Structure 1
Amino acid sequence: MVILAGLYEIGGSSRFWQWLKADRPGWMGLLGAILLVLYGWVATWQPTAFGKTYAVYGGIFVVMSRARGWYFDGFRADRSDLLGGAILLLGLAVILFWPRS
């Protein structure tokens, strides 16, 4: 679910951004808005509490956004990008899997 939500959120945001910032046609902005609504809907399918769900989504989306930049924009990650992503994923693992008392 988190990957699907990430695809909707990042895809919708990038389409909306292109419409507003890169002078793309209006249908791109509309498509972006539709994808963002789908993201909001998919996010509600998660069984965890709102705060936990969105904390995890935030971290996953950072990593997915960097991957999107690499694939579509030719962005090349350096060591600090890779280390930051690894730290972020480690933090997500703590949030999700650390034993609760």
Structure 2
Amino acid sequence: MLKVFGLFVVTALAEIVGCYLPYLWLKQGRSAWLLVPAALSLAAFAWLLTLHPHAAGRVYAAYGGVYISVALVWLWVVDSVRPTVTDWVGVGFCLLGMGIIMAGAKS
């Protein structure tokens, strides 16, 4: 389960970086060259999704909980916005839901 969770975290980071770099280009006037690593990151994201051991629909559902968690940490670390208590409670519920989905996985 820890290996799958780690894979979810790496997958989430690839997706967030792939979306954050075009944001920097579009909203903050950064170089269009950021689109190259963004595309590579999104390609890595799609490839990483194929490495997950369960059926695609279940993976996407469970991945959502980890994505929300990683996005909240990204908000704190990269955007310097401290999450609120309700943010952390929400993340806890998301991870609980993810755990329930993955614990029931048979295929």
Q: Same fold (TM over 0.5)?
A: yes
Q: 1:69 to 1:79 in 2, by over 3 A?
A: same
User: How much is the aligned-residue C-alpha RMSD, in angstroms?
Assistant: 1.5
Structure 1 residue ranges without an equivalent (≥5)? none
1:64 counterpart = 2:70: yes
CA–CA distance in structure 2, aligned partners of residues 79 and 2 of structure 1: 23
Identical pairs, percent? 30
Structure 2 residue ranges without an equivalent (≥5)? 1-6
Alignment of 1:85-96 (within 5 A): 85-96=91-102
Tell me the number of residue pairs that the alignment of Structure 1 and Structure 2 aligns.
Answer: 100
Aligned to 1:76: 82
What TM-score do you get using the length of structure 1 for normalisation?
Answer: 0.90
What TM-score do you get using the length of structure 2 for normalisation?
Answer: 0.86
Q: Residue 16 of structure 1 contacts residue 33 of structure 1 at CA under 8 Å; is this kept in 2?
A: no
Q: Residue 18 of structure 2 contacts residue 41 of structure 2 at CA under 8 Å; is this kept in 1?
A: yes
Q: Residue 11 of structure 2 contacts residue 49 of structure 2 at CA under 8 Å; is this kept in 1?
A: yes
1:44 counterpart = 2:83: no
